[in-house]
Structures are given as C-alpha cells and as structure tokens.
Structure 1
C-alpha cells in the first residue's frame, strides 16, 4: 500500500514543481509587459507596466496646450486607467489556468482568486458603476432572494 502512496506523493511533487515553473515564467513575462493606451481625445498616451505602474506619459501633437488643467488631467487619468485595466486583464488571462483544477487524475486544485480584491478599480478602467460596485449590488440582490 505504501507504493501507491509514494507514487501519489511523487506525482503531486512533480505537478507542484511544474506549476511553480509555469508561475515563474508567467511572472517573468509580466515583469517585461506593458500596455500603451491613448486617451479617447488622442491628447495623451500612457504606458503602464505589469503591476499597473505608470512608466511613460506623452502629450501628442501639443494638443494639450489648448486644454484647461482639468481637461488635461481628465485625459491623463483616462489613459492611465485604461492602461491599468488592460494590464489587469492580461494578468488575469496569464494566471487563469492556475485557477482551474488540474486534468483528470491530477492532484492540483485550482486557486480561488478574488480578482476585484487584487486589482480594485483597475478592472473596470476606473469607470463608475461597473466592476466591484455593480457586482456587489448583484450579490446583495442574490443574497436577499435566498432568504
């Protein structure tokens, strides 16, 4: 009986090592990743790194010179939030395979991640009424129905 147990332990260790290697590769890829996004008015171009950090900001064609401070600030925020949302989606796509259980016979269980908790408003591009708040409202309504 100890042999099947030893085999299961060896299989679990091999799966763990393969998963750790895959996670390390994904992390290395994301460290090099970035998203470059333009504001809708095409005044600002923002580049955001893999952790949502602002790594570059350009003012295109000097269009910003004809804007008020609040208008320029809104363009900057829009571009940065869109870039953060794009990177958050890329991170989610990269790590999504690790949230699923392994194939049939595998010892690996999927990891349950609360992406809204990890990324907050970055997932919805900073748009009010989407993302976390609307999901919580839906969850509240579902909870009330079960009473």
Structure 2
C-alpha cells in the first residue's frame, strides 16, 4: 500500500515542480511585457508595463499644444486606462491555464482567482461597472459644470 502512495506523492511533486517552472516562465515573460496604446484623439501614446505601471508617455505630433490642460489630462488618463486594461487581460490570459484543474489523472487543482479584486478598475479600462460614460466624458461633464 505504501508504494501507490509514494507513487502518488512523486507524481504530485513532479506536477508541482512543472507548475512552478511554468509560473516562473510566465512571470519572467510578463516582467518584460509592455503594451502601447494611443488615446482616441491620437494626441497621447502611453506605454504600460507588465505590472500595470506607466513606463512611457509621448505627445504625438505636438497636437497637445492645441488642448486645454483638462483636455490633455483626459487624453492621458484614457490612454493609460486602456493600456492597463489591455495588460490586465494579457496577464489573465497568461495565468488562465493555472486556474483550471489538471488532466483527469492529475493531482493539480485549479486556482480560483478573483480577477476583479486583483486588477480593480484596470479590467474595465477605468470605468466602473454599470457606467455607460467613459471617464473622458465624465471629466468633460465636470469641466462643463465648473465653468460658472
């Protein structure tokens, strides 16, 4: 009876080591990953790193000179939020195989992750659930309201 138990332990250890190696490779790939996104008005280009951090910001063709400060801020926020959402989806896709159980004869169980808790508003590009207006339009509405 101890032999089958020792075989199962050896199998579980081998699966654990393989999973740990795969996770380490995924983490290393994501440390090098980035995505670059342009705002819809094509004024700003933001580069986002694998952990959702802003790693680059460009103002394209000096178009920003024709914008007010709040308009430029809205373009920056839009590009950064879109980039963070793209990177969050990439991270989810990378780690999705680890959330599923292993094959039928496997000891590996899937990991249950609450991606909304991990990424927060980054998943929706910065919009709150149920919000139909983009953050850019909300900012414009606030700007319009503050002109009194």
- Return closer, same or farther for 1:44/1:20 CA change in 2, 3 Å cut-off: same
- Return closer, same or farther for 1:93/1:2 CA change in 2, 3 Å cut-off: same
Find the aligned partners of 1:19 and 1:62 in 2 and give their Cα distance. 48
Total equivalences in the alignment: 146
CA apart distance, 1:139 = 31
Corresponding residue number in structure 2 for 1:45: 45
Corresponding residue number in structure 2 for 1:141: 142
Cα contact 2:126–2:135 (8 A) shared by 1: no
Where structure 1 has 5 or more consecutive residues not aligned to the other structure, the ranges are none
Post-superposition Cα deviations, 1:69-116, rounded to whole Å, max 9, x if no partner, equal 000000000000000000000000000000000001100000000000
Corresponding residue number in structure 1 for 2:108: 108
Cα contact 1:121–1:131 (8 A) shared by 2: no
- Return closer, same or farther for 1:135/1:70 CA change in 2, 3 Å cut-off: closer
- Return closer, same or farther for 1:10/1:146 CA change in 2, 3 Å cut-off: farther
Corresponding residue number in structure 2 for 1:34: 34
- Structure 1 segments, 4+ long, off by >2 Å, are 129-147
Find the aligned partners of 1:142 and 1:106 in 2 and give their Cα distance. 57
Find the aligned partners of 1:67 and 1:130 in 2 and give their Cα distance. 26
Find the aligned partners of 1:145 and 1:67 in 2 and give their Cα distance. 17
Q: TM-score, normalised by structure 2?
A: 0.87
Q: TM-score, normalised by structure 1?
A: 0.87
CA apart distance, 1:145 = 42
Bigger Cα displacement from structure 2, 88-97 vs 133-142? 133-142
Corresponding residue number in structure 1 for 2:25: 25
CA apart distance, 1:132 = 15
- Return closer, same or farther for 1:18/1:39 CA change in 2, 3 Å cut-off: same
Where structure 2 has 5 or more consecutive residues not aligned to the other structure, the ranges are none
CA apart distance, 1:65 = 0.1
Post-superposition Cα deviations, 1:108-142, rounded to whole Å, max 9, x if no partner, equal 00000000000000000002x36999999999999
